[in-house]
Amino acid sequence: MSEHHTRAELFRSLHTPGSPLVLVNAWDAASARIVAAAGARAVATTSAGVAWSLGAADGDVLGRDAAVDLVRRVAAAVPLPVTADIESGFGATPDEVAATVRAVIAAGAVGVNVEDARRDAGTPLRDLPDQCARLAAVRAAADAADLPLYLNARIDTFLSGTGGVDETVARASAYLAAGADGIFVPGVVDPETVGALVRAIPAPLNVLAGPGAPPIAEFARLGVARVSLGSAIAEAAYTVVRRAADEAFGAGTYGALADALDYGTLNALMR
């Protein structure tokens, strides 16, 4: 069994309801190594942080090649399973999504997130048959590569305000039948709703957490299997840049830079 296959099996085993895998999402090699050094069991990318760092907006704007190259850099930087946020799949058709998956597997990823949001002028979410075809293409590409890729199907009903628990569960059922392994429902953190989703979806549930959300221990009690911090880490990092710039150009002081990781520590991580 190859190291890649071993990491894929390990990543799959980390999704345990009640003992959630915590993912502090990275967007480059340095952030991945910082997260790994802090004790991460796996590293996940954030599509927003990746896009911003490469000069693009999030939401199906970044090109596939740039996204895949970043996954390759992150996977090479850490001795941990890496799962890639590939937005909607960087492709207009299921075949193009499959090409993306083949590329991210070759880059070293052992998992992917694929969302059902649309970024064009149409409805906020993809039609169910269309999204199921895209997920089936992901699964087929992974099977052809002989890799037990973890397919995390993201459902944007709550984020888009287009559905509640019932619509989310209906989509989850269809996505699981199409080949998904887990279900990611960002935009909901209240315990009652999260608990209802855990009970109704027969697969590991991933939630998106951040300031104002319950602590990880509460999500564990509810039976959540994965907690992601998403773009919030990159947002916080870029906020430091903004505060430092405002302070330097305004008061002419440097307080925003206090308590930073020092040069030696960061440089040592990258050796």
Identify the pLDDT of residue 160.
95
Pairwise CA distance, residues 237 & 18, whole Å: 30
The ranges assigned to domains in the chain are 3-231
Q: What b/e string do you get for 243-268 counting C-beta neighbours within 10 Å, with b at 16 or more?
A: ebeeeeeeeeeeebeeeeeeeeeeee
DSSP, res 257: G
Identify the pLDDT of residue 215.
98
pLDDT (tens digit per residue) in 126-156: 999 999 999 999 999 999 999 999 999 999 9
Q: Listing from the earlier edge strand, what are the strands of the sheet with 226-228? A: 21-23, 226-228, 205-208, 182-184, 150-154, 111-115, 82-85, 43-44
Pairwise CA distance, residues 179 & 172, whole Å: 11
Min mean pLDDT across 120-129, 149-158, 238-247, 254-263 is at 120-129
Q: Which candidate, 57, 136, 129, places its Cα nearest to that of 89?
A: 136
Identify the pLDDT of residue 94.
98
Tokens of 104: 């991210």
93-97 average pLDDT score: 98
Beta-carbon contacts of residue 43 (< 8 Å; ≥ 6 apart): 23, 26, 32, 35, 36, 74, 78, 80, 81, 82, 83
pLDDT (tens digit per residue) in 12-52: 999 999 999 999 999 999 999 999 999 999 999 999 999 99
Identify the pLDDT of residue 1.
80
Beta-carbon contacts of residue 39 (< 8 Å; ≥ 6 apart): none
pTM of the model: 0.97
Pairwise CA distance, residues 221 & 110, whole Å: 27
- How high is the mean pLDDT of the chain? 97
Identify the pLDDT of residue 119.
85
pLDDT (tens digit per residue) in 100-129: 999 999 999 999 999 999 988 789 999 999
- Percent pLDDT > 70 in the chain is 100
Domain 3-231 falls under CATH 3.40.190.10 = no
